[in-house]
Amino acid sequence: MDVNPQASVTQPVSARRRYPDAPLVGVAAAVFNARGEVLLVQRSRPPRAGSWGLPGGLLDLGEALADGARREVREECGIEIAIGGLAGIFEPITFDAAGKVEYHYIVIDYWASWVSGEPQPGDDAAAVRWVAPEDLDACALLPDSYAVIRRAHECWRQAAR
């Protein structure tokens, strides 16, 4: 019997996002352009449809974390990035009115630099935009997102020196 360990990489896997059986692993990236602005996406799907956050999504089976972050940014924003390093871990958990876990993600956040492409909304993004760090308050981000962006921006600044 031949077993191909790479077969799972190319086959799509569907995980139940709402009321999952286990936490789902996601990846995201705080991407900075040459001016130090961070790229944000406006979500088009639950949870948090209409809200702003970092581009990202679920990791595919067999996919390395950094590869998943690059893929998600490409799918959501249409740009290419260079991963710099880890910026943090974000664990959003949403409970329904009865107290059951409705959504549970573990998101590995990277910081990255823009390489090429013009940001355009794609995949599950309703809109994308570059935002200066001093203008983030207008985006009503989750507190954990602010913290990740601050850490990521500092890492990006250190690397740019």
Burial of 80 (0-12, 13-18, 19+ CB in 10 A): middle
Beta-bridge mates of residue 38: 32, 131
Half-sphere exposure (Cβ direction) of 103: Cα atoms closer than 13 Å: 14
Instruction: Please write the tens of the pLDDT for every residue from 4-28.
Output: 444 444 444 567 889 999 999 999 9
Examine residue 2 and state whether it is found in any structural domain, yes or no. Answer: no
Inform me whether the pLDDT recorded for 90 exceeds 90.
Answer: no
The pTM score is 0.86
Half-sphere exposure (Cβ direction) of 149: Cα atoms closer than 13 Å: 26
Examine residue 13 and state whether it is found in any structural domain, yes or no. Answer: no
Examine residue 90 and state whether it is found in any structural domain, yes or no. Answer: yes
Inform me whether the pLDDT recorded for 69 exceeds 90.
Answer: yes
- Look up the domain containing 99 and give its range: 18-160
